Amino acid sequence: MPVMDMNVEVKTPDGTCDAALIHPTTGTHPAVLIWSDVFGLRPALREMGKRLAGEGYVVLVPNPYYRTTKAPVVEDPSKFNFQTDMQKLAPHRAGINTAGAVERDATAYVAFLDAQKATNRAKKVGTQGYCMGGPLIMKTAAALPDRVGAAASFHGGGLVTNNPDSPHLLIPKMKARLLIAIAANDDMTSPEAKTKLREACDAAKVPAEIEVYAGALHGWCMPDMPVQNGMPIYNRPEAEKAWARLLALYKTALA
């Protein structure tokens, strides 16, 4: 369906966030908050938002680094060098990594979505996140349990840690249905993570689909990823499989 794509500003307790708001041109629809990977809001994320909006959703894609800079921080990740360039993102990541920052942001973003005429507030809100966005969907679902009905993590980093603030420990606070899509190389590094996630979901009676995508590398859902060690990170067949799972989740959980 036809969509409107616009730049917006969202007031948060910590400042003003620049973001993309995309929604169908007619009707009212469930709202979705997209948390980006480490590269932030950029053309590829905007295209993802347009695709999702075309399925009948009101989509907000915020700049996660608004505390320090406007988007895009990295416009073309295909030219990014993980060995030499990651340190450049550290000052920007610091703001969103402070205690309570994600919860404050998520509350402001969902309130902004709920204020849109295109949003059907009778429907639950969905949230999806990629790489560093994986833990952020967990924090969002836990902070707004009565509003968030679905939360999806794709190649999320650090969903299970040994720290007392590990994202998986937030699962008992959630009422959302979860979709956790795990990269094969992430599973190889931390094979116990999927088991701990499943145990936490079962104990809290949180419905969850947890799957390792065989052959898919960390970052496989993003078409603008660089080649790493001579291998393309983006995996279109597995990305389309993940997208289909996401749409099925939203169709079920955002009713």
**Whole-number Å distance between alpha carbons of 32 and 46:** 13
Least confident interval from 84-93, 100-109, 153-162, 178-187:
84-93
Tell the burial category of 195 from Cβ atoms under 10 Å away from its Cβ (0-12, 13-18, 19+).
exposed
- In the chain, % of residues over pLDDT 90: 90
Residue 7: pLDDT over 90: yes
Task: Note the pLDDT tens digit of each residue in 40-69.
Answer: 999 999 999 999 999 999 999 999 999 999
Across the range 75-91, mean pLDDT stands at 87
Please indicate, yes or no, whether the overall pTM of this predicted structure exceeds 0.85: yes
In this prediction, residue 88 has a pLDDT band, given cuts at 50, 70 and 90, of confident
Task: Note the pLDDT tens digit of each residue in 147-188.
Answer: 999 999 999 999 999 999 999 999 999 999 999 999 999 999
Domains of the chain with bracketed CATH? 3-253 (3.40.50.1820)
Of 213, 219, 247, 245, the C-alpha closest to 232 is 219
Of 151, 160, 49, 144, the C-alpha closest to 104 is 144
In this prediction, residue 86 has a pLDDT band, given cuts at 50, 70 and 90, of confident
Of 19, 18, 31, the C-alpha closest to 110 is 31
In this prediction, residue 87 has a pLDDT band, given cuts at 50, 70 and 90, of confident
In this prediction, residue 255 has a pLDDT band, given cuts at 50, 70 and 90, of confident
Interior angle at CA 27, CA 118 and CA 24, nearest 5: 70
Q: Which residues of 85-94 are buried (b: 16+ CB within 10 A; e: fewer)?
A: eeeebeebbe
Residues in the chain: 255
In this prediction, residue 82 has a pLDDT band, given cuts at 50, 70 and 90, of confident
